[in-house]
Chains A and B, each alone.
Chain A
Amino acid sequence: MDRLKIIKKNIMEKKTTILNLTEEEFVHSGNRACSGCGLSIIYRIGLKALGKNTILVVPPSCLTVLQGLYPVASTKLPCVNVTFASTGAAATGVRGAMKALKKENVNVVAWAGDGGTGDIGIQALSGACERGEDIIYICYDNEAYMNTGVQRSGTTPQGVLTTTTPIKGKLQEKKDVPSIIAAHGIGYVATASAAYPLDFYDKVKKAMTISGPRYIHVHTPCPPGWSFDTRFTIKVGKLAVKSGLFDLYEIEDGEFQLTGESKRLVGKEKPPVTDYFNSQGRFKSLDAELVKTVQERVDTKWAKY
């Protein structure tokens, strides 16, 4: 399908396209993100979706840096920076204040990295989900502690070289954070990719129509951390989805469905995972056996879709 046809199809399906994406920007250009930063893409697009009436809650992460150093800020929305482990609870506090002050219709949005979400922050997030707090939680998963210099995290995939898995690569598999959050039975869990920003935009928009805890987990390529050229952020992100390693889906009221590019892949032949592995330096210590194991895991998973 050529691009024009895809755009026409998306318009028919009421999906956002580059033609009808809102023009208003909430992130200033010239911010402190690295060039080619996947977070930089989704933060810009995500805030467009959220709009002005939003309060952000951000723990330490690359986003803290992206947002600038006092007294300059690159975000045009109110934002409270909070301690690392506290994001879910801090978002709870903002919502609590909105209720107490009778301020309706404010989006309370936590935006954290994979460490701040699935590792040090998982207790506060789990608590907020269990209590049914009316918040949107967006996790940008760049698959390691990038802000501190590429140390392993719970969501680092198996075999990846990081500065704390420098020789053998990470021994353990990637922690499935969205499934953990979905197990809380909240109304909306979705995955997205920085390589498909408009799909992410629509998922944020959908999340805004639902109340209670909503969680979006965004696969976010990181050129310095994953060791690829800054030109290839989108390409690398798309390969993760197209090879079937990272799946785009939504779980609405417990109903799972693949979405976007992942939905289109069902029943189709996918590029081998080695295409994805070879696109980055962080996988260079993978041995053939682990590559085979990962391919088998992907094939088994997709056989169920």
Chain B
Amino acid sequence: MKAFMLGWEFPPFISGGLGTACYGLTKAMGQLGMQIAFVLPKAGISRYTGPVKLMSAEGSVEIKEASEFENVSFHEIISPLRPYVDSSRHEAYSRQRGSYRERNARYIRSWHSKSAEQGENYPNDMAGQVHRYATKVMEIATVEDFDLIHAHDWMTYPAGIAVAKSSGKPFVVHVHSTEFDRSGEHVNQSIYDIERQGMHSADRVITVSNYTRNIIVGRYGVAPEKVEVVYNGVEHDTCSDSGSSHALPEKTDKIVLFLGRITMQKGPEYFLAAAKKVLEKMDDVKFIMAGDGDMTHRMVEYAAYLGIGHRVLFTRFLRGADVDRAYQMADLYVMPSVSEPFGITPLEALKHNVPVLISKQSGIAEVLTHALKVDFWDIDQMANKIAAVLKFPLLRRTLREDGHSEVYKFRWEDAAAKIKGIYEKILNGS
């Protein structure tokens, strides 16, 4: 059984759940003995990622076969496509190369796209990019042999549809987020159309939660029996389990952490409104907003407007050891997302032994029990629960300890096994 998988760049190169999910899932599927040809678009404009680097990556084929990825072969397409429209101008994606990639991944070939070198044309020429990407994918499909196509999120759907049509193989779309999550009610119609077409063309739709499944059924009109839920997992390698210990500045205040893209979807303004309420009742608290996004400047202004500017720290985009430090300092992690298909960061916080407060409008809230949950708009409850966690050490302890153990129930092996089952059902024609 071999899957032709249209996926995304792996972390730490890209922040966010999609790359992380592609990484964990592909690795686990490979370990289950499933064959995968993995195609990924990568930003080609960075000086770190020129053709020379890629050649050297190709040169290290033998090293990787033995390590992380079994049964997986990689194809790169130079393309400025990015999974998250709202952060498309964010430079961090192409700033630093992932370290494990050179060590571990097996690259078959790089597929250069001429337009990639033209730079940031993505927001204006999205349709063109998606199309050019699809054309390249078609080329790759001709040299690969596979049983079905598996496409992750909307930008790969047109390519998937095209390959499915030309090869006659079954088509699976995997929905990690929808336009409604990213844009609320102000959806980009052309993206919605692509998503809808992809879901309707697919033989099966996989979603990361029931929350997302309901959106697929309710907003995209997909037959419910066609949609299956496969929850994401987390990496359980022991070294990153609780994050290595870092030297920290001396801490006098309690710290509440927001970590994620500062965009409408993540609900940063609710975090600040709740912070304001907490600070009315307690004064030894600091709120850290780690991350970046198109709402960052507005949030800095909003904090100032609320008169809590001195209690809110903006770190901008964090990576690597700084992420670990942020978790290590935190007494509570808050994910106030307005609409979150899954939500992997609460699990990462728990891995770092930080208790979590999450929005009920998230997939993770369906399955994580040892977490506090609120409606994202319920500022009073959010503030009340933040204050409770800061005030009651035993609440913090129970949430932290039980939550930490609960993270182990989220395994990519289980997700991969479930997907294997879905593949088998499709290929057996049931």
Do A and B come together as binding partners?
no
Chain B residues proximal to chain A, CB less than 8 Å: none
Q: A residues bordering B, Cβ < 8 Å?
A: none
